[in-house]
Amino acid sequence: MNEPHRRGYGRRDGDLGLGPCSQEVERRYDVTTITRVVARDIRFPTSLDLSGSDAMNEAPDYSAAYVVLETDGGLEGHGFTFTIGRGNELCVAAIRALAPLVEGRTLESFTEDMGAFWRHVTGDSQLRWVGPEKGVIHLATAAIVNAVWDLYAKAEHKPLWKLLSDMSPEELISCVDFRYITDAITREEALEILRRNEKTKPDREAEMLEDGFPAYTTSAGWLGYSDERLRSLVREAVGKGWTHFKMKVGGDIEDDVRRADLIRDEIGPDRTLMMDANQVWDVDQAIENMERLKRFDPYWIEEPTSPDDVLGHARIAEAVTPVGVATGEHCQNRVLFKQLLQADAISFCQIDACRLGGVNEVIAVLLMAAKFGVPVCPHAGGVGLCEYVQHLSIFDYVCVGASLEDRILEYVDHLHEHFVDPVEIQAGRYVPPRTPGYSAEMKPESLNEFEFPSGGAWATEERTIP
């Protein structure tokens, strides 16, 4: 990778200039109280050019139910959960319902036991009735929890991946709620995974800073694009050095075959092609359609059926091998991932930073995937998801999975310009972030422009939701 330290820390040793906080930062951190939770409905009109379109979601408006944790200490925590337009207002309302659980509390009261913090946010006895740990409430939980982690990382002056990587195995385990998953992984087994990787963490961290994390592109393969645009974008991506491509399928099977043939013709036989059906097929339909699409040598078929159908995924996985089955972006909690792993239903675990209940629950799924030997390839096809999941994949490699075999991280070239610390891709790899926090913070002018329905982007009749 060229200029590997352009976003780096100017050092190659294990410290990286991101050691413990200074006394000044510690004093500020000790008195940091969350004074107010601000929730905003942010929507980008991507339906206008069909960016993000797939078989299930024909005209999405990439959106974020956005959270700002205001404090009395000069820091702010930013977080969000991803939606595709209508319904974003429900997530905003749910965030406001959760807000009293963190307002008036000090950051230190949470960070001294992040596992207890997560149970506090997910454990309200009345709000659990509209969950528990799934649906709109869990999406809002992710926004709140991720904002607290963003605040925590900023207070420690570290990017989130580094904050997590610097934790001891015992500290990481304390973040995880093992309730409902001990039949798949025990606390002791999880500790053993982390301890086994502890001595070699500095080597993998240095490797990430030198080479970055491998990525694939989805940006060329949206279902709503014309054949001409598809061919042009794929050709452009090949010219930029991309080696892994994902296309959307699940419309008319004849169209899928034609588009797959077009892409394979452009990328040649040696580059990797993945397919994503976005949940639209029945189980038998998925098996039948993949029989036709197998000749294009797909690496995986993503979301071939309902995300809740564990046994259906297992049947598909058995039938379509050697094509792998990938799913996870709509898996609502660690329990569903547990069942997919136990049933040998997926070859690739696609965590989503917002569908799960924030960083704590992500760690639980990473640990289970490591035990079952299933590579984690996060979903990042949405506004801000690339910014989030780069931290999670780098942390997974440094501390948990400890391998790059079959690991590759999604990248979409949309909306990064709205973030204070946008992702950087070099030679088809994510460059590790250096800015303290979770890379979730959007620019104030973008928040104002795209707030729904009052922002300037939504002020004209042409930019109403279709």
Which residues does the annotation mark as catalytic?
248, 379
DSSP 8-class letter at 397: I
Distance CA 446, CA 213 (A): 28
Provide the angle, in degrees to the nearest 10, between the axes of the packed helices 114-122 and 359-372.
Answer: 110
Q: How far apart are the first and last CA of the chain?
A: 42
371: exposed, middle or buried (Cβ count in 10 Å: 0-12, 13-18, 19+): middle
* CA 149, 152, 154, 157 torsion-angle sign: negative
CA of 230: how far to CAs of 134, 218, 239, 254, in Å?
A: 36, 11, 14, 16
Polymer length of the chain = 466
Q: Omega into 132 within 30° of 0, i.e. cis?
A: yes
Residue 424 tokens read as 């950087």
CB contact at 8 A, 69 and 102: yes
Tokens representing 23 are 């006394």
Q: Are the C-beta atoms of 362 and 391 separated by less than 8 Å?
A: no
Q: Considering only CA atoms, which of 159, 197, 198 is closest in space to residue 16?
A: 159
Instruction: Using DSSP, state whether 452 is helix, strand or coil.
Output: coil
Structure tokens at 196: 């086994």
- Mapping DSSP to helix (H, G, I), strand (E, B) and coil, where does residue 140 land? helix
Decide: 51 and 222 in contact? Cβ < 8 Å.
yes
Pairing mode, if any, of strands 272-276 and 213-217?
unpaired
Q: Which positions ≥6 away from 48 have C-beta within 8 Å?
A: 463
The identity of residue 28, as a single letter, is: R
